[in-house]
Amino acid sequence: MTRGQREMSDREVERGSGVAVWRQIGEALADDIRKKLYLPGEQLPPEPELATRFAVNRHTIRRAMGELELSGLVRIEQGRGTFVQEHAIDYAIGRRTRFSQNLAAQGMRGHTEIIDSQVVRAPEVAKQLGLARTAEILHVQMIGKTEARTIDVAEHYFDLKRFPGIDEVLRARQSVSRALAHFGIADYTRKWSRITAAMPSAPVARLLNQPKTRPVLQVEALNVDIDGAPVQYSVVRFAGDWVQLTVSDSD
């Protein structure tokens, strides 16, 4: 009996609960992986063993494994089996936090995509940006991707008067740093970051390709220019199974 079986031996799937059986199995195995019952690179039990454990057919096990592979927790090797993914992305939170540089430092290529942009009035956000409560703010929702995997969903807020049309610049340049440079901001630094665990909304969970019952790592942050004036307020939600955050006081 494997470590995962010993831990899960008294847990059963709940039929008729409104949650698909394959999804319950996927969540149970994901819990095992998060608890380190299966270590990075370790092979999961074969389909017949898992089918017996959960009292389901092999097709249901394959469906669960397929979803785990899509979420980045496991990899399926034809003829060999299913293995826990060996690595998570170390995402550094420092004075100069840059998405592309974080990935490049680990030999990975990433890019961003705009999901939506709109002008809003949000008093609490305006306060963070040092604006009047009724000021118009540009809200840009973006996703950060490495290879074909979405690793974060970001809500960025900018002063509309200072950065008119920055959403279109972001769309063209696919980089916050390059977009700010377009407006004369050659350099900016992180004034503060607040890191918490949070439950994602249904839209965020869908974009991250994970269940909404699985927590995300949430980073709220304010970036300022060389004069200390706010240029960007953000709330970024990372897929906790695929990203680990490292806080540093360096650049």
Report whether pLDDT(150) > 50: yes
pLDDT band for 8, please (50, 70, 90 cuts): very low
Looking at CATH, the fold of the domain delimited by 3-84 is given as: Arc Repressor Mutant, subunit A (1.10.10)
Q: How much is the pLDDT for 12?
A: 67
| Best CA proximity match to 70, nearest among 149, 152, 151, 153 | 149
> Could you report the per-residue pLDDT of 47-72, keeping only the tens digit for each?
999 999 999 999 999 999 999 998 88
Please compute Rg for the chain using Cα positions: 21
Please report which helix (H) or strand (E) contains residue 69, including its range: helix 58-70
Q: How much is the pLDDT for 2?
A: 46
Of the listed ranges 17-21, 116-120, 178-182, the least confidently predicted one is: 17-21
| Best CA proximity match to 60, nearest among 69, 51, 71 | 51
Rounded mean pLDDT, 31-51: 90
Tell me how far apart the alpha carbons of residues 103 and 91 are, in angstroms, rounded to a whole number.
8
pLDDT band for 187, please (50, 70, 90 cuts): very high
Residue 74 bridge partners (DSSP)? 84
Tell me how far apart the alpha carbons of residues 199 and 45 are, in angstroms, rounded to a whole number.
30
> Could you report the per-residue pLDDT of 106-124, keeping only the tens digit for each?
777 888 999 999 999 999 9
> Could you report the per-residue pLDDT of 70-80, keeping only the tens digit for each?
888 898 878 88
Do strands 74-77 and 81-84 pair parallel, antiparallel, or not at all (unpaired)?
A: antiparallel
> Could you report the per-residue pLDDT of 159-177, keeping only the tens digit for each?
999 999 999 999 999 899 9
Tell me how far apart the alpha carbons of residues 131 and 129 are, in angstroms, rounded to a whole number.
6
Rounded mean pLDDT, 114-142: 98
Tell me how far apart the alpha carbons of residues 227 and 125 are, in angstroms, rounded to a whole number.
20
Report whether pLDDT(5) > 50: no
Report whether pLDDT(1) > 80: no
> Could you report the per-residue pLDDT of 194-212, keeping only the tens digit for each?
999 999 999 999 999 887 8
Take residue 171 and report the two structure tokens written for it.
Answer: 């769309």
| Best CA proximity match to 226, nearest among 190, 188, 191, 193 | 188
Tell me how far apart the alpha carbons of residues 241 and 236 are, in angstroms, rounded to a whole number.
15
Report whether pLDDT(186) > 90: yes
What is the CATH number that goes with domain 89-247?
A: 3.40.1410.10
Report whether pLDDT(96) > 90: no
Same fold? 3-84, 89-247: no
Residues in CB range of 100: below 8 A, 6 or more apart:
110, 111, 175, 177
Mean pLDDT computed over every residue of the chain: 89
Annotated domain spans of the chain: 3-84, 89-247
pLDDT band for 251, please (50, 70, 90 cuts): low
Rounded mean pLDDT, 30-58: 91
